[in-house]
Amino acid sequence: MLYPRIIPCLLVHNKGLVKTTKFKDPKYVGDPINAVKIFNEKEVDELIVVDIDATTKGIMPDYKMIENLAKECRMPLCYGGGIKTVEQAQRIFSLGVEKIAISSAAIENPSIVAAIAERVGNQSVVVVLDVKKKSLSGKYELYTHNGTKATGLDPIFHAIQMQKMGAGEIVINSIDQDGVMKGFDLNLINKIREIISIPLTVLGGAGSLENIGTIVQRYGIIGVAAGSLFVFKGKYRAVLINYPTANEKAALLRQYFLNNSE
């Protein structure tokens, strides 16, 4: 039987791993290569690595780092950050990466999704939506450039457009819940889930395995990604890589997934 995917998400900033809170105040987490190696040894379902500098600084993806990370992954790796052209995407695939994630590029030039998908197949193109709630209206808005640029765009509309363009997967990332570890924004997830039929992965807010369980219980087959939950430990946010063991995962799925269907 197919199981939902539980996916650690790592952020790279100045060559090192960091963890943010609401996309701000990056806390240093350590060396990316060793972290990826440990996640690989823990046999995680998939891994997402995002370079949060590349787009804001207008720099190229760090191909050497990507190559080194891909070498350590015996599970699908999704890389995002600074990808603007089909050639960049192809080069990254050739380094051993399964999926590429684009965010601002898809907003600036939606046809790039179709262009990349044509070369390598839709399944390899992931579109990330960084979303924040507007303070007054409570409506959601798309942001780019690491949460610094408000686009004025509606994420629902954008998600539908991306699906039409041939995206293989949507990652919905809640800026407000990022690093807060108090649970996912279910309202936001509902809205997106309603209108798309391609695979969805949710990110932002996971504070416990129960939070993951809630998502899986409500949505069944879905990707659940987390950053803080898998790199921090305890109330002092000690940096310690962790991920449910095979037994813990089985227990989680038994409790939240196997007894439910959508």
Partner 1 sequence: MSKEVPVEGRGYQICINCVMDTSDDNIKFDDNGVCDHCHDFENNVKPHWHTDDSGRKALNQIIERIKVEGKGKEFDCILGLSGGVDSSYMLHLAVKEFGLHPLVFHVDGGWNSELAVHNINVLIDKLGVELYTEVINWEEMRDFQLAFFKSGVPHLDIPQDHAFIATLYNFADKYKIKYILNGGNLSTECVQYPMQWFYYGTDMVHNNDIKRKFGTIKMGTYPTSSIFRHKIYLKYFKGIRRVTPLNYVPYVKGDALSFLEKEYGWKAYPQKHFESRFTKFYEGYWLPERFGYDTRRVQFSSLILTGQMTREEAIERLKAPAYDPETIADEFNYIATKLDITPEELRQYFNMPKKFYWDYKNQQNVFRIGAKVLNLIGVEKVKKREQ
Partner 2 sequence: MITIVDYGLGNIRAFVNVYSRLNIEIKVAHTAKDLRAATKIILPGVGAFDYAILQLNASGMRDELEIQVLENKVPIMGICVGMQMLAKSSNEGKLPGLGWIDGEVKLFDTTLIPYKTRLPHMGWNNMCPIGNIELFNGFDEQTRFYFLHSYYFVCNREENVISTTEYGIRFASAVNRNNIYGVQFHPEKSHSSGVQLLHNFAKL
Q: Which does 242 bind (CB under 5 to 8 A by kind): partner 2, partner 1, none?
A: partner 1
Identify which range of 81-89, 146-154, 182-190, 228-236 contacts partner 1 by CB under 8 A: 228-236
Cβ at position 145, least distance to partner 1 in Å: 25
Residues 6+ apart with CB under 8 A from 181: 205, 206, 207, 208, 228, 229, 232
Instruction: Select from 27, 68, 76, 153 the one that contacts partner 2 (CB under 8 A).
Output: 76
Catalytically annotated residue among 51, 53, 62, 130: 130
CB-nearer residue toward partner 1: 137 or 236: 236
**130 classed as catalytic:** yes
Q: Which of 232, 100, 120, 220 is nearest to 171 (CA)?
A: 100
CA angle 130, 136, 137 (to 5 degrees): 75
State the sign of the Cα–Cα–Cα–Cα dihedral 31, 32, 37, 43: positive
Six-digit token pair at 173? 């990332």
CA distances from 225 to 112, 136, 170, 174, 195 (A): 25, 28, 12, 11, 20
Instruction: Select from 69, 70, 156, 202 the one that contacts partner 2 (CB under 8 A).
Output: 70
Q: Which does 239 bind (CB under 5 to 8 A by kind): partner 1, partner 2, none?
A: partner 1
Identify which range of 80-88, 154-162, 179-187, 221-229 contacts partner 2 by CB under 8 A: 221-229
Q: Which of 24, 85, 37 is nearest to 60 (CA)?
A: 85
CA distances from 8 to 149, 199, 260 (A): 25, 17, 24
How many residues sit close enough to partner 1 to count as binding (CB under 8 A)?
23
Strands 169-174 and 232-233: unpaired
CB-nearer residue toward partner 2: 71 or 149: 71
Residues 218, 141, 99, 117: what is their CA dihedral angle, to the nearest 10 degrees? 110
Identify which range of 23-31, 82-90, 143-151, 164-172 contacts partner 1 by CB under 8 A: 23-31
How many residues sit close enough to partner 2 to count as binding (CB under 8 A)?
38
Q: Which does 149 bind (CB under 5 to 8 A by kind): partner 1, partner 2, none?
A: none
CB-nearer residue toward partner 2: 126 or 229: 126
Place of tokens 């890389």: 79
Q: Which of 161, 65, 77 is nearest to 112 (CA)?
A: 161
Cβ at position 71, least distance to partner 2 in Å: 6
The catalytic site residues sit at: 130
User: Footprint of partner 2 on this chain (CB under 8 A)?
Assistant: 1-5, 40, 43, 45, 70-71, 73-76, 93-96, 98, 119-121, 123-124, 168-169, 193, 197-200, 219-223, 261-262
User: Footprint of partner 1 on this chain (CB under 8 A)?
Assistant: 15-16, 28-31, 33-34, 37-38, 41-42, 68, 71, 233-236, 238-242
